[in-house]
Amino acid sequence: MNPAKNLLQKAVEILHSGNSGVICLPENPSQDTLAAGLSLYLGLTKLGKNVTIACSSPTQSELIGSDKIQSMIATSGNNLVISFPYNDGSIDKIDYYIQGNSFNIVVIPSSEGLRLEPKQVQYSHSGGAIEFIITIDADSLKRFGALYEDNQELFQKNKIINIDRHLTNMFFGGANLVYRTASSTSEIIFEFLNAIKCPLDKDIATNLYAGIVAATKNFSSYSANAQTFELAAQLLKLGAKKRLTGKQQAGLDPNGFISQQGPEFEKQVKPIEEVEQEVQAEKATSSDVLKPKIFKPGTGESA
């Protein structure tokens, strides 16, 4: 029997054995890592799983769902978690008061503390049970930084699905989807989503396509093979949007994707009749160049 198929089946069993879990990204994740993790998050949420996604280091990305990445492990329980930047000694005390129907929490900074801006405050829920952990693109648990260091007991008692393509992976999971020949982690996630029968929408397809493009350096790396191109074609058929860089950025929508509307796009699209006329003109010019020249004696002019 195919060992890879057995590993995939084991991962599916672990996922279906629970309803609540967390997707862990390593510190300083690559674009492919983010794309893979966020695609899986969107897919599991679509299937009704109570799942969160976390990374201990700050992330910057325009990938769909990137605003859902938390800095700590938590699931959607009934506890409201209020998070904001903190430096040792920057807070003097925390107080509260009730005004009408509102419960107000007051954070009082120390004399040297900085003013806390509302936009720096993040809200999440915790208290829910964690029944599985999915790790993305890490060869060891230490790569998760504070996510692992602060929750070692949680990692020890829960079933782990380890998804990675590093040659140095330590196979620390209950199921290890470690495909060392894969050209991107996003490709592994595509296979996993199909195995759990998750229908892929255009958002998931867009993220996966972006991950593959980033990992393969726009399909130019040696790891890109026929399967890579076949998968990219499938994602485009599902509605994946392409991201452009450099001079191609003109005419993009606010999310960095090719805009299908607006004056910039309209300028680039010519009516088919105009294109046909240009082609005919080019053919005529080419035929004139190739036509033999006949010179009239004594005039120096061609006939």
- Domain housing 279: 251-303
Give the whole-angstrom CA distance, residue 284 versus residue 280.
Answer: 6
Query: Are 139 and 285 part of one and the same domain?
Result: no
3-state DSSP assignment of residue 11? helix
3-state SS track over 61-110: CCCCCHHHEECCCCCCCCEEEEECCCCCCCEEEEEEEEECCEEEEEEEEC
Q: How many CB atoms lie within 10 A of CB 174?
A: 16
Nearest to 113 by CA among 93, 83, 139, 134: 93
The percent of residues above 70 in pLDDT, for the chain, comes to 74
pLDDT tens-place string over residues 12-30? 999 998 889 999 999 999 9
Residues 165 and 195 in one domain: yes
What single letter denotes the amino acid at residue 203?
D
One-letter amino acid for residue 142 of the chain: K
User: 145 and 108, same structural domain?
Assistant: no
Let me know: does 56 contact 71? Beta carbons within 8 Å: yes
User: Does residue 231 share a domain with residue 277?
Assistant: no
pTM exceeds 0.75, yes or no: no
**pLDDT tens, residue by residue, 58-81:** 998 899 999 999 988 875 555 677
Confidence label for 116 from pLDDT (cuts 50, 70 and 90) = confident
Instruction: Please answer whether residues 138 and 144 qualify as being in contact, where contact means their C-beta atoms are separated by less than 8 angstroms.
Output: yes
Question: For the chain, what is the domain count?
Answer: 3
Q: For residue 243, tell me if it sits in a domain.
A: no
Q: Is residue 94 pLDDT above 60, yes or no?
A: yes
> Are 59 and 30 in contact, with CB atoms under 8 Å apart?
no
Residue 189 confidence (pLDDT): 97
Three-state secondary-structure class, residue 270: coil
Let me know if residue 245 belongs to a domain: no
244 within a domain of the structure (yes/no): no
The residue among 105 and 298 whose pLDDT is bigger is 105
Mark whether 278 and 178 lie in a shared domain: no
Residue 65 sits in the same domain as residue 203: yes
Pair 195, 69 in one domain:
yes
Residue 193, Cα to own-chain centre: how many angstroms? 14
What does the pLDDT read at residue 129?
77
Q: How many CA atoms lie within 13 A of 28 on its CB side?
A: 2
Consecutive H or E run containing 135: strand 132-136
- Decide: 22 and 52 in contact? Cβ < 8 Å: yes
Higher pLDDT pick, 271 / 3:
3
Q: Are residues 105 and 201 in the same domain?
A: no
51 part of a folded domain: yes
Measured distance CA(157)–CA(175) in Å, rounded: 14
Q: Is 201 helix (H, G, I), strand (E, B) or coil?
A: coil
Residue of 37, 23, 33, 26 lying closest to 65 (CA atoms): 37
Quick one: pLDDT band at residue 256, thresholds 50, 70, 90? very low
Task: Flag whether 137 is in a domain.
Answer: yes
